[in-house]
Amino acid sequence: MPYTGWIILTASLVGLSCGLIGVFLILRRMAMMADAISHTVLLGIVIAFIITREVSGTPMLIGAVLAGLLTTFLVQWLHSLNIEQHASMGIVFTTLFAVGVILISTSVGNAHLDVQHALMGEITFIPWNTMSLPVIGDVPKATALLALAFVIVLSFIVAFYKEWKITSFDPALAASLGIPVVFLHYVFMSLVSITTVASFDSVGAIMVVAMLITPAASAYLWTDKLSIMLVLSSSFGVISAIAGYYTAVWLNTSISGSMAFATGLVFLVSFVFSPKHGLIAKYVKPAL
Amino acid sequence: MEDVAIKVENLFASYRKNTVLSDVNLAVESGSLTGIVGPNGAGKSTLLKSMLNLHPSLTGSVAFFGQPFKKMKKKIGYVPQRGSVDWDFPTDALDVVTMGLYGHIGWLKRPSRFHKEKAYQALEKMGMKDYAKRQISQLSGGQQQRVFLARALVQDAELYFMDEPLAGVDAATEHAIMTTLKELKTLGKTVMVVHHDLQTVAEYFDHVLLLNQTVIEHGPTNQTFTKDNISRTYGGNMRWMREEDHDVVPSIKQ
Ligand SMILES: Nc1ncnc2c1ncn2[C@@H]1O[C@H](COP(=O)(O)OP(=O)(O)O)[C@@H](O)[C@H]1O
Ligand SMILES: [Mg+2]
């Protein structure tokens, strides 16, 4: 596959996974948690690196999931101590992120891991760092990791679709029906972590947050059905990825930045034109 | 007393350091329709939640037909306060009612045609069949409450707990809901309902639980729901009008 093809495929995978996960972040009113996790997984990556001395797929995923679970647990714990939910998130993620940054600058000292890279990502270099897979052949490592993350996210969402729906809509009912609400919350946060860390390497933390929140928030404006919201959100993610790439090439600017900007444009268009909640619909539709 | 459906002993509950319920003891007769009455903040919602393990109680025990909650989960239907969920959630009325069946469907399976049919029938029973495919934010308050009731009905439970199902609904919905509650009672189900309108208590419920932090009085309505007990529950500042004819005044609220 040509260089451009790999970049677009990689970015599209980010858009797909983030789009799916983002829907539930929005519906569970946990958008802020995306920000928290996108910062704390850094700690997971650093620790995985310190132990294995390499930045590679599986240890990184495991490290990120552990960091994500730790974040979730600490936020819940602080909240149970009478600290407001968003304040708890703020405290936890800034602290864990700081620990990650300190570890990078003191004990890692490796060119592969710097803060700049973690925040902005480096999608341009992805196609050159390949691995060999059976049948498929040479594939960029980051792309393979993202494909794996996408498969995991998609299968969890499909397999537990009705559980995600009910625990997002009415956790009290879910609990009274015997559905393990807290356990599923941790599973969900693990999926957020997996998505985040897999996307991290290619697009960086800022882009991950944009991709997690904005396409889902846009999709929310277009539909009243959860399944359609999922399809729209992931499509918006892919569209933003592709449009962002070509914009970046055209203007010769940062790819991640353009993609994040594209998600913002999608939201703006949705906000103005959506038939149900959009600005124009509000003026055109007679009041009920 | 006859069959005891619900037994609560020495229940204490708190939000952080505020004790909201202290030393609650009660035994609810099987097949009764009980109104839970008390001033705002008396702990009515908290009592329901503590009984259903949705709010951790500090101490105390709760048993349903002699069994702990965990074993009886599937036999319990809960209708939370309408404001407890996000009505802008992307879903329609039929879907919300179907959620009541998720406990029966099991892991990795999707609701089948059979489940949808059951949900549809429950909506029909609540006079909502024309709204099955309507997005839930497009329903009126009364219609949303009927959807919640329909969802409880499909659970086909033995015990029902409802938190202010009649709050802010229109007269027709109030009538539809009360008809359904009385039917549940006829079927031998035990129903506990948090209720805010003192004027309709005697008409609607055969038992009443007067609650304010603890049980003030609990028993058959005609013996328990006396002026004296009510003012003990509400303290001095109760607004209580038409005290003699409260059971014949039709209630139309909004
Ligand atoms: N989530 C909460 N956090 C803190 N305090 C609460 C919470 N929910 C209820 N309370 C307090 O607990 C008391 C009882 O509340 P509740 O059970 O909702 O009363 P009721 O349903 O009888 O109006 C009130 O004083 C209320 O302020
Ligand atoms: Mg209440």
pLDDT in tens, A173-206: 998 888 999 999 999 999 998 998 888 777 887 7
What is the average pLDDT across A118-134?
76
User: Which ligand is closest to the CA of B167, given by its number?
Assistant: 2
Q: pLDDT-based confidence at B15, cuts 50/70/90?
A: confident
Which of A25, A82, A177, A184 would you mutate first to test chain B, the one with the most B CBs within 10 A?
A177
**According to the model, what pLDDT value does residue B18 have?**
87
Measured in Å, residue B39 CA sits from the centre of ligand 2 at: 9
**Confidence check: pLDDT of B241 > 70:** no
Query: Does A191 reside within a domain?
Result: yes
Residue of chain B nearest A29, judged by CA positions: B86
Which ligand 1 atom lies nearest to the CA of residue B163? 21
ipTM of the complex: 0.88
Query: Does A176 reside within a domain?
Result: yes
B202 reaches A (C-beta below 8 A):
no
- Could you give the 3-state DSSP secondary structure of residue B137? helix
**According to the model, what pLDDT value does residue B244 have?**
44
**Confidence check: pLDDT of B180 > 90:** yes
With a 6 Å cutoff on the Cβ, whether B20 touches ligand 1 is yes
User: Closest approach of chain B CAs to the CA of A225, in angstroms?
Assistant: 5
**According to the model, what pLDDT value does residue B48 have?**
95
Report the percentage of chain A scoring pLDDT > 90. Answer: 47
**According to the model, what pLDDT value does residue B31 have?**
96
What is the average pLDDT across A54-79?
84
**Confidence check: pLDDT of B248 > 50:** no
Q: What is the pLDDT of residues B87-140, one digit of tens each?
A: 999 999 999 999 999 988 989 999 999 999 999 999 999 999 999 999 999 999
**Per mean pLDDT, which range of A107-111, B109-113, B153-157 is the poorest?**
A107-111
Cβ within 8 Å, pair B74-A178 = yes
**According to the model, what pLDDT value does residue B242 have?**
45
Cβ within 8 Å, pair B73-A178 = yes
Put simply, the chain A residues between 174 and 213 with a CB less than 8 A from any chain B CB are 174-179
Pick from A162, A176, A229: CB nearest B73? A176
Query: Does A229 reside within a domain?
Result: no
Q: What is the pLDDT of residues A19-30, one digit of tens each?
A: 999 999 999 998
Q: What is the pLDDT of residues A137-153, one digit of tens each?
A: 888 988 998 999 999 99
Q: What is the pLDDT of residues A259-271, one digit of tens each?
A: 999 999 999 999 9
Query: Does A239 reside within a domain?
Result: no
Put simply, the chain A residues between 97 and 136 with a CB less than 8 A from any chain B CB are none
Query: Does A28 reside within a domain?
Result: yes
Yes or no: domain B4-244 corresponds to CATH 3.40.50.300: yes
Q: pLDDT-based confidence at A136, cuts 50/70/90?
A: confident
Cβ within 8 Å, pair B108-A159 = yes
Q: Sketch the domain layout of chain B as residue ranges.
A: 4-244
**Confidence check: pLDDT of B81 > 50:** yes
Which of B85, B104, B105, B161 would you mutate first to test chain A, the one with the most A CBs within 10 A?
B85
Instruction: Identify the domain containing residue A94 by its residue range.
Output: 3-212
Q: pLDDT-based confidence at A114, cuts 50/70/90?
A: low
Take atom 7 of ligand 1 and give the residue whose Cα is closest. Answer: B15
| Domain containing residue A162: CATH number | 1.10.3470.10
3-class secondary structure per residue, chain A? CCHHHHHHHHHHHHHHHHHHHHHHHHHCCCHHHHHHHHHHHHHHHHHHHHHHCCCCHHHHHHHHHHHHHHHHHHHHHHHHCCCCHHHHHHHHHHHHHHHHHHHHHHHHCCCCCCHHHHHHCCHHHHHHCEEEECCCEEEEHHHHHHHHHHHHHHHHHHHCHHHHHHHHHCHHHHHHCCCCHHHHHHHHHHHHHHHHHHHHHHHHHHHHHHHHHHHHHHHHHHCCCHHHHHHHHHHHHHHHHHHHHHHHHHHCCCHHHHHHHHHHHHHHHHHHHCCCCCHHHHHHCCCC
Cβ within 8 Å, pair B80-A226 = no
What is the average pLDDT across A15-41?
92
**Domain count of chain A?**
1
Report the percentage of chain B scoring pLDDT > 70. Answer: 92
Residues of A in contact with B90 (CB under 8 A): 27, 220, 223-226, 228-229
Q: pLDDT-based confidence at B252, cuts 50/70/90?
A: very low
**Confidence check: pLDDT of A113 > 80:** no
Put simply, the chain A residues between 46 and 65 with a CB less than 8 A from any chain B CB are none
